[in-house]
Amino acid sequence: MRLFTFFAASVAAVNALQQQQHPFVVQDYQDSALATFQPDTCPIDTVSCQRSDVDPCCSPKNGLLVLSQQWDTRWGPSDAFTIHGLWPDTCAGKMLPGDGCDSTRSYTNISSIVEATDPALLKELNTFWPSNKGDNNWFWTHEWVKHGTCVTTLHPRCYAHDDYVPQQEVVDYFRSVLALRAKYNVFQALNASGIVPTEPETGRRPKNTYTLTQFKQAIHSAWGVEPNVKCIGRRLQEVQIWFKVRGRDTYYPVDPWGQDTCRLISYQQKSSN
């Protein structure tokens, strides 16, 4: 990420470009670009989507987010869902632009950025956020450009000037998503309710299945909200948990805004381990 320099001429150029692309996303930054942001001035009790007059550095402007954890029998540890992504939506539940929210931060070298700052984080990404197409850097680049750039509290302006390191927000985004996956561990929540992967079966309609209600009740028992559950046919694909945010970055689960695509669910053991 290029660190914005907020002199009037530079701001005007950046504003013109960004207004042309996604004016509804960046307007709050345009209005306050010349101001020096102080993180300690943010109200600590702000909840996303409750007020429109809050600096987007203090509370996410795109304040409804979904954490999607996927179950692919070919990838990841045998006792863990892997990450598909953390996706900000508008407070009305609408998706954001498919090309992201800030073209000036469309980095394509996510692996290098993370490794240079935190090699242990890169190892964790490879374990819990693998691509099912075999190209992790491509996958992480896609998730960062489309979704990470839309987390307004991670805009470079939102860091104290003396503390910001270029591209720091990239590392912070991936670190925060991994932390959410660890806290909202879907595999453990299902296991606690007696829902465990079954032996693989042949055929198009496996007999060993769970119901959508069982999955929803298991997640509700763990965190007090229901998930959205996605399937391809009967095969489990993803479990999605929705969030709002207290303050800048305290995520808490809320009732789902999406649709389920499962009735009977085939949740089979992984074959890669």
Query: Residue 67 and residue 252: Cα distance in Å, rounded?
Result: 11
**Distance in angstroms between the alpha carbons of the first and the last residue of the chain:** 37
Decide: 45 and 223 in contact? Cβ < 8 Å: no
Active site residue 84: yes
Query: Residue 86 and residue 80: Cα distance in Å, rounded?
Result: 17
Active site residue 142: no
Virtual torsion, Cα 158, 143, 30, 7, nearest 10 deg: 70
Query: Residue 205 and residue 65: Cα distance in Å, rounded?
Result: 33
**Six-digit token string for 87:** 């996706």
Active site residue 147: yes
**Six-digit token string for 202:** 């042949």
Closest alpha carbon to 189 in 69, 56, 18, 272: 69
Query: Residue 158 and residue 161: Cα distance in Å, rounded?
Result: 9
Q: Length of the chain, please?
A: 273
Decide: 125 and 182 in contact? Cβ < 8 Å: no
The catalytic residue among 143, 169, 226, 238 is 143
Catalytic residues, which ones? 84, 143, 147
